[in-house]
Amino acid sequence: MQRDLADFERHLAELLGAQHALGVGNATDGLNFAVRAANIGRPGDEVILSSHTMIATAAAVHFAGGTPVPVECGADHLIDPAAVEAAVTARTRAIIPTQLNGRTCNMDALQAVADRHGLLIIEDAAQALGSRHKGRCAGTFGIAAAISFYPAKLLGCLGDGGAVITNDDAIYERAYQMRDHGRNREGQIVSWGVNSRLDNLQAALLDFQLKRYEGVIARRRKIATLYTERLSTVPEVVLPPPPDSDPDHFDIYQNYEIEAEKRNELKEYLKDHGIGTLIQWGGQAVHHLKALGFTQHLPYTDRLFTRMLMLPMNMSLADDDIHYVSDNIRAFYGCKP
């Protein structure tokens, strides 16, 4: 918690247009701190979240003492505001939208639901640093948010790392104490806390990378444009929205998640041709994890999880690599090169 961390936190807050950024050990801790700092976690407190998210989103609620309630996602693979509205009960305290794959949710619609029912919004912005909705950055809509710096992220460190983002001074003070054994900014222990500090080496590396972050986003958007140009005419495939196709959204393409007919066969075909692909969360949505007590029936998400596939999307890819991936997908479905 020295100068390197303070510099990075300041620069990160400036990038996002936020009042506070707080480096923590990982985004799961950060989200848990945000939930607890918002005083959510009394017995019976419910928090609505998308089932298409990492289990960490639900775990942050569970370990704060609350009950995670997974709901359907929509055609954009993000939480469905109508499903959120339908899931609200007298026990609901908050909504946690996951800003997934580098795209920000329809925050106007979610805020309208939150306002109607007196709910807080806490963002899981782990995959969305720099993504915007109507010009506003992911992580700055709710009372607090968490961002991940896991190495696979656009801005990644050497291992686990994360940040809490907030414009609320009280949330910041409570999260500040939680990450460092309950110490306040004067170094006095005033509450119970844990050890979840982003160390100075990680912070220095992240701060260095932050200087070229705009170029990283631009390259990934170029890759997404190439995929659109090559695959938009393949009827068996549904692509993410291309860059600049919606003036309300600025996407950073943390992942390039498509929907594909005969998904499993396509995945094997690409593997046989030296192309690695992934299915997020090991192919299990949160509500599929019955061992954790989830009982929801979410047919749209169930179908999506039989179709979704992440194509290569990273900074090591050349344009020729994208053409090779696209050529093989087109060949699998019998399309002309």
Strand partners, 250: 132
Radius of gyration, alpha carbons of the chain: 20
The DSSP element (H or E) to which 114 belongs, if any, is helix 107-117
pLDDT band of residue 337 (cuts 50, 70, 90) is confident
User: By C-alpha distance, which of 171, 93, 177, 178 is closest to 139?
Assistant: 171
Q: What is the pLDDT of residues 252-310, one digit of tens each?
A: 999 999 999 999 999 999 999 999 999 999 999 999 999 999 999 999 999 999 999 99
Domains of the chain: 3-210 (3.40.640.10), 213-332 (3.90.1150.10)
Check if the beta carbon of residue 180 is closer than 8 Å to that of residue 195. yes
Average pLDDT over residues 45-73: 97
Q: Which two tokens stand for residue 286?
A: 């949160």
What are all long-range contacts of 2-8, with beta carbons under 8 Å and residues at least 24 apart? 2/200, 3/200, 4/200, 4/201, 4/203, 4/204, 4/207, 5/197, 5/198, 5/199, 5/200, 5/203, 7/203, 7/207, 8/198, 8/203, 8/204, 8/206, 8/207, 8/210
User: What's this model's pTM, rounded to 2 decimal places?
Assistant: 0.95
pLDDT tens digit sequence for 144-194: 999 999 999 999 999 999 999 999 999 999 999 999 999 999 999 999 999
Looking at residue 336, what is its pLDDT?
Answer: 84
Q: How far apart are CA 319 and CA 286, in angstroms?
A: 35
